[in-house]
Amino acid sequence: MPFVTAKDGTQIFYKDWGAGQPVVFSHGWPLTADAWDPQLQLVADHGFRAIAHDRRGGGRSGQTWDGNNLDTYADDLAAVIESLDLHDVVLVGHSTGGGEVARYIGRHGTGRVAKAVLQSAIPPLMLKTAANPEGLPIDVFDRIRAGVAGDRSQFYQDLSESFYGANRPDNQVSQGIRDAFWLWSMSVGIKGAHDCVKAFSETDTTEDLRKFDIPTLIVHGDDDRIVPFVASAEKSSKIVKGATLKVYPGAPHGLAMVAPYNDTFNKDLLDFLKS
């Protein structure tokens, strides 16, 4: 399997399909690069080079004890981009992956980046604070940590319901989609999964977003039960200069895998790549 070596020696697995302008996908918590497979195939079929890596701590990448934070995740993304000597890159990040993309630009700039897509992404800040009253209270994230530390297998099975909107009327979420979520989540080490909760909930990426100087598409569902729209995409679209915001009525957090929202997202993604 192909790997790149991060600056601390951690092995980061990646998949690399097709040829053309590189589109690099960063996945959400607690998943792996496999969650992006439909979009990887889509863009590769349309003349782009599709690349996705497993975040450290899970999947086929190294399960490090330390480094489960946005700074290191961003540096790992940089290691993939630099090791493959990618230029004119389109960065696509879902959920925590969106935070990874934002922090990458904040730390490494846009010299190699042409465009960015933030889909159901965590920026600028998920945690409720005096300055961010639209966020979620800390006890929400404490319950997630308790779920990971306890019966995490059952916790992930339960989480898949709200992640994909399987509890909403007339949803089209199959058991297979929920099983895939559980499978990917269980491949993530418990330490990495636990530490990542702090990374995705308490990291403020406002200043990172201010450094975006590239075309940026922000996509979010207004029925996202994981990352509230008002605390994330709505704010990010006002911080990123010239950003295009697309709100999908009724769409859940994992909209890229759930009909009919996946078809809309795939079209919007291709249109943005070709624009």
Residue range 115-125, pLDDT digits in tens: 999 999 999 99
Residue range 215-269, pLDDT digits in tens: 999 999 999 999 999 999 999 999 999 999 999 999 999 999 999 999 999 999 9
**Which tokens in the block code for residue 217?**
């598409």
pTM comes to 0.98
**Which tokens in the block code for residue 45?**
């079929």
Catalytic (active-site) positions:
95, 224, 253
Residue range 126-159, pLDDT digits in tens: 999 999 999 999 999 999 999 999 999 999 999 9
Q: Please tell me the predicted confidence (pLDDT) of residue 257.
A: 97
- Domain spanning 3-274, CATH class: alpha beta
pLDDT-above-90 percentage for the chain: 100
Q: Which long-range contacts (CB under 8 A, 24 or more apart) does 173-180 make?
A: 173/258, 177/254, 177/257, 177/258, 180/34, 180/35
pLDDT at 1 over 90: no
**What are φ and ψ of residue 122, in 5° steps?**
-75, -25
Residue range 189-218, pLDDT digits in tens: 999 999 999 999 999 999 999 999 999 999
Q: Please tell me the predicted confidence (pLDDT) of residue 174.
A: 97
Distance, CA of 165 to CA of 63 (rounded, Å): 30
